[in-house]
Structure 1
């Protein structure tokens, strides 16, 4: 009879070491995210030197290239007045798929895009069962959340690699951490973004590019309008401006981050339970958000 006790002890020790290293690394990332804004001015100037002076940001109005020209113009005036930078507007509807991406490429022309932020995204109007979601809305979520990030990376990544520098930020979501009942398709698209981005990191690791996977938790934007609890600013639900300040400071520092110190803490504790428990908790939270939304409709 073979005594497997030493093998079991060895495997247990290796597993414990793995979790300790992961805990330590996550704590370092949280500390880095918390302190980064103190040095934000230096970070911003270094980004221009490192990647160039032009950044292309999709989803730059209601979330963190928009369909609404008036909102784009308002955002343009606000940013230009605050930061004295030059902005070129592109009005595009990414639910049109390749047509939208071709329009963006045409409008960008020969501008040397050094940073691409794939931030555009589409969410359910409120937590719903799959059978309740209109088919057109499901297709829009897939085309915007999966199609746009894929084709936009395809459009600009080789040009960046040719010059040996550039940064791509693909914005995912904390919903990628587990299957998410009542937001099934949305969470699945964000899992795609995570997998896609990590594969790109490997493909272009030797070509001088920064490819970042950014996975925030709740941010107080219009996407979360269905619940006052996550639509209002709080310690763990920052407004877009505050979140962006932290997230910008992570570019070129961490390739995998939540972008915000409090979200790093949330992600750390979210990942501790097994997936089945995380799925149950996520579904339970969404059922509460759904009930809150339904009650608001009745009122």
Structure 2
């Protein structure tokens, strides 16, 4: 009986050693994981608030130009004004010629520096070769330092893909994808030849997180994410910087948000953050040639990527529920306006 007890005791001692080993091993793994997340968060803070950005003048001298597509309103207008205030000449490209003339006059009156401006009215939804030929003729005569691919379109209201009109699908793809590709293909060769330049393309959280009821828009922005990263790798050896800018909500005509909040900054505040963080990833850690420069958007992206996963089923379903609610409210508003019109017709 004593011998058996000793064998049992010895066996128990071995089991305890194994348990202790695995306990220590798991503790080490947990500690390393925790340290990695802490380091990642510290990198986020330093990228957003401490590390310096690349100076815009590193992309071109004072006589150089910046092109802004979708320039006449919202984010595009702010890019135009703020780049002009930093001394760049501005080529304004958008659909409505009267708005472009108005913005050109505003740049001349607001900017203390003597900025030259040129305008080109073109409808990116039409995807006309003649429009791009006119743009190329302008670009070939200018020293383009910065390209802001800002032109974009979303759905009028959230809509199931099966109910999305053919025209809306075509317009979104032509504007968001073809427009960005064709403008960049016109501008980039000159930058490669001069061995300097910045190509900045507006992305969206809709391209990071699959967004039900905005499926076509979400897919177009996901395309821009992959394309921009690939382009960045191609152009880096030639001294041309490529950056896809991720954003959540911003006050603009596209978002239909009218009042700024901590999660939806004004166009001015957002553009200031973008131009002040060039070359810094912000919340887009691990995403090549990508930046999320506005601090609340960056925090949101970091949290979701760290603890939830941007394509997690729960995240997608929450996104779906949110857009179903937006669609329901929009349809009710349209019905009220329709009934109001009938009442007084």
Cα 1:30–1:220 change in 2 (3 A) is farther
Among 95, 110, 123, which residue is 1:93 paired with?
Answer: 123
Indicate the residue corresponding to 2:330 in structure 1: 293
Aligned length: 282
Indicate the residue corresponding to 1:205 in structure 2: 236
Q: Please give the root-mean-square deviation of Cα atoms over the aligned residues, in Å.
A: 2.8
- Rounded Cα–Cα distance in structure 2 between residues aligned with 1:20 and 1:90: 52
1:277 aligns with 2:324: no
CA offsets per residue over residues 85-131 of structure 1, 9 Å max, x none? 22211111111225233222123331010111111001100101112
| SS of the residue 1:168 aligns to | strand
Structure 1, unaligned runs of 5 or more: none
- Rounded Cα–Cα distance in structure 2 between residues aligned with 1:131 and 1:147: 23
Cα 1:150–1:22 change in 2 (3 A) is farther
Cα 1:219–1:34 change in 2 (3 A) is farther
Q: Which TM-score applies when normalising by structure 1?
A: 0.84
Indicate the residue corresponding to 1:54 in structure 2: 65
CA contact (8 A) 2:59 2:198 kept: no
CA contact (8 A) 1:34 1:260 kept: no
Indicate the residue corresponding to 1:185 in structure 2: 216
Indicate the residue corresponding to 2:165 in structure 1: 134
Cα 1:33–1:78 change in 2 (3 A) is farther
- Rounded Cα–Cα distance in structure 1 between residues aligned with 2:254 and 2:293: 18
Larger RCO (CA under 8 A, 6+ residues apart): 1
1:33 aligns with 2:64: no
Cα 1:20–1:63 change in 2 (3 A) is farther
CA contact (8 A) 1:33 1:246 kept: no
- Rounded Cα–Cα distance in structure 1 between residues aligned with 2:240 and 2:121: 27
| SS of the residue 1:55 aligns to | strand
- Rounded Cα–Cα distance in structure 2 between residues aligned with 1:103 and 1:55: 17
- Rounded Cα–Cα distance in structure 1 between residues aligned with 2:41 and 2:120: 37
Per the TM alignment, residue 15 of structure 1 is displaced from its structure 2 partner at its CA by: 12
Indicate the residue corresponding to 1:69 in structure 2: 97
Structure 2, unaligned runs of 5 or more: 1-20, 76-92, 282-288, 337-345
- Rounded Cα–Cα distance in structure 2 between residues aligned with 1:101 and 1:291: 39
Q: Which TM-score applies when normalising by structure 2?
A: 0.74
Indicate the residue corresponding to 1:147 in structure 2: 178
Per the TM alignment, residue 203 of structure 1 is displaced from its structure 2 partner at its CA by: 1.4
| SS of the residue 2:156 aligns to | coil
Cα 1:76–1:123 change in 2 (3 A) is same
| SS of the residue 1:212 aligns to | strand
Indicate the residue corresponding to 1:264 in structure 2: 298
CA contact (8 A) 2:59 2:146 kept: no
Q: Which of the pair has more CA radius of gyration?
A: 2
Indicate the residue corresponding to 2:107 in structure 1: 79
| SS of the residue 1:205 aligns to | helix
